[in-house]
Amino acid sequence: MIGVFVLKESLIIHWRGVWLWLSILCFLMPLSRGQTPTPTPTREEQIEAARDAKEKAVASSDTRRFEQKLLDLENNRWVQLVNGAEGFHVRVGGMRGVGSGFSLGPAYQRSDLWGERLTFSTSARASLHHWYQGDMQLAMPKLWQERASVELNLQYSNLGGLGYYGQGPDSRKEDRTSYGFEEARVDFRPALHVTRRLSAGGVGGFRAINVGAARSGSYPSSEQLFNATTAPGLFQQGDLWTAGGFAKYDNRDSAGHPTSGGQYRVQYTRSSDGDSRRYGFDQTDLLVQHFIPFFNHKRVIALQGVSTLTSAHSDQVVPFYLQPTVGGPNYLRGFQAYRFTGNNIVAFNAEYRWEAASFLEMALFADAGKVFQRQSQWNIHGMERSYGFGFRFKMQNTPIFRIDTGFSREGFQIWLRSGSSF
């Protein structure tokens, strides 16, 4: 019986539950059809409610991830030293010669002296291969209503191991040697700017040079393989006085990254080592560059021809360390740096450049060049050739550094250099 009672009680409870739910349902049905007992907010009230919620959670504006750290970094004195161009800063790279390895050092520059008429810059750098260089430049680029300029350059360089393979086009790759080169020089360069494009001027200077055993690199030192005949000036150097002049026409659209126009320059200098009369010579440098743009300057055919012709004074020679060379990052890029040395050179570069992105320019290039002992051999016969491709990384439309890979009969070379090829 007890069990039956309980059962009946539960039945009653459940029936009550059903009625309860049905009652709630009947009550709520009209509400769910929109007859809300409380007033519907307006759109403006919704906006105000959102403002209420925001006001309760109000906080100072967040600086984005890492942004504050970057701001701090940019304002850091030491970072400004590395980034700056004016005042004290750190100069990276730009050492003379090929093979120094990574270099850096302190630098100081002022472009605002004497009412911005005088600029002064100086730097000292050391490289991983223990090469050293110090420079100082005083320049007045805007004299006489910018129709004249004058520059004074002082430089000391101590280059631990420059390459030398012997004289002429038949030198052997296997004969690679190195020599140490130390020089202190002063150059003075006044110029008249006849027009904005055309300028001419003089050059004069003094060079004190010392050549010795290489201090870096794994190649034999030059004196182990060459002598005073095959490397004139190897054992005895002299001080040189230089004087000459130049003329230049430059209608390139940009000096740092030209895409149209051209540059045409000729320079003549006469060098003399005074009373010793061993190393006096005349030198003529010719440079022709021309840039042919197409497709809105996004494609450029860049052409360059260079020639350096030297002529030793009677009974004198051009020392090997001042002879022009081909091979390296600028001419004949498929050959090692300084691969060919001679009294004269002629070299040509042709590049097809195309801008792949704002930050990247590509290039296909072909180089040709040769060295020759007599100026009568100035022709295009017997030229060495190389070809290759390059990546030029740009910032603000100016190449910052390039990676050029050149191929030749002697294999391939990869060059990492700052700036443009030409």
Partner 1 sequence: MASQRLLFLTAGAAALTTAWLVAAEPSLPRFLADDPIWREPPPRSIPSAKKQVVDALYDFYENSFYATRRAYVESAGSASEDGVSAAAQNVNTVGGVPDSPWYVNRHGMHPMTNQELARGPGDSHPPTPDAPWKVIAAKQDGVSPGFLVEDGKGDRYLLKFDPPDYPELASAADVIVSKILYAAGYNTPENYVVYFPEEQLQIDAGSTWKNSRGGREKLTKAVIERMLRHQPKDDQQRYRALASRFIPGEILGPFLYEGLRGDDPNDVVRHQFRRDLRGLRVFAAWTNHTDAKSINTLDSFVQEGGRSFIRHYLIDFGSSLGSDSLRPKDPRLGHEYFLETKPAGMQIITLGLYVPLWARADAPKYTGVGQFEAESFVPQEWKPNYPNPAFLMMDQDDAFWAAKQVARFDDDQIRAMVATGQYTDPRAADWVTKTLIERRDKIADAYLTLPIDAFRVENGELKFDSLLPARPVRPENCQIRWSTYDNVARSSKALTGSFGWSSAEAFAASGGAGFLEAQIDCPPQTPSVSVFLRRRGDAGEVAGVERRW
User: Which spans of this chain sit near partner 1 (rule: CB under 8 A)?
Assistant: 7, 10-11, 14-15, 17-18, 21-22, 24-25, 28, 32-34, 40-44, 46-48, 50-55, 58-67, 70-71, 74, 80, 84-87, 110-112, 115-116, 295-296, 298-299, 352, 354-360, 362, 364, 397
Q: Residue 52 carries which DSSP code?
A: H
Query: What is the Cα–Cα distance from 267 to 287, expressed in whole angstroms?
Result: 9
Q: Which two tokens stand for residue 223?
A: 């004196």
Whose Cβ is closer to partner 1: residue 2's or residue 58's?
58
Looking at residue 202, its amino acid is G
Q: How far is CA 307 from CA 188, 372, 375, in A?
A: 23, 11, 11
CB 142 within 8 A of CB 151: no
Whose Cβ is closer to partner 1: residue 57's or residue 315's?
57
Whose Cβ is closer to partner 1: residue 87's or residue 274's?
87
Whose Cβ is closer to partner 1: residue 60's or residue 195's?
60
Shortest reach from residue 63's CB to partner 1, in Å: 7
CB 213 within 8 A of CB 179: yes
- Extract the runs of DSSP E, i.e. beta strands, from 358-383: 360-372
Shortest reach from residue 46's CB to partner 1, in Å: 7
Whose Cβ is closer to partner 1: residue 278's or residue 353's?
353
Shortest reach from residue 36's CB to partner 1, in Å: 9
Whose Cβ is closer to partner 1: residue 183's or residue 404's?
404
Shortest reach from residue 327's CB to partner 1, in Å: 26
* 106 closest CA partner among 120, 130, 126, 76: 126
Show the CA angle centred on residue 167, arms to residues 162 and 172, nearest 5°. 80
Tell me how far apart the terminal alpha carbons of the chain are, to the nearest angstrom: 112
Shortest reach from residue 376's CB to partner 1, in Å: 40
Query: What is the Cα–Cα distance from 340 to 163, expressed in whole angstroms?
Result: 10
Shortest reach from residue 35's CB to partner 1, in Å: 10
* 201 closest CA partner among 157, 139, 252: 139
Shortest reach from residue 353's CB to partner 1, in Å: 8
Whose Cβ is closer to partner 1: residue 15's or residue 378's?
15
Whose Cβ is closer to partner 1: residue 296's or residue 314's?
296
Radius of gyration, alpha carbons of the chain: 37
Show the CA angle centred on residue 109, arms to residues 81 and 122, nearest 5°. 105
Secondary structure class of 40 (helix, strand, coil): coil
Distance of CA 258 to the CA centre of its chain: 14
Pairing between β-strand 177-193 and β-strand 148-164 as defined by DSSP bridges? antiparallel
Using H for helix, E for strand and C for coil, what is the string for 91-111?
EECCCCCCCCCCEEEEEEEEE
Query: What is the Cα–Cα distance from 34 to 41, expressed in whole angstroms?
Result: 13
Shortest reach from residue 141's CB to partner 1, in Å: 13
Q: How many CB atoms lie within 10 A of CB 353?
A: 23
Tokens 């090997």 locate to 320
Shortest reach from residue 266's CB to partner 1, in Å: 28
Shortest reach from residue 133's CB to partner 1, in Å: 24
Whose Cβ is closer to partner 1: residue 1's or residue 170's?
1
Whose Cβ is closer to partner 1: residue 46's or residue 210's?
46
Whose Cβ is closer to partner 1: residue 64's or residue 172's?
64
CB 190 within 8 A of CB 159: no
| Residue 178: its H or E element | strand 177-193
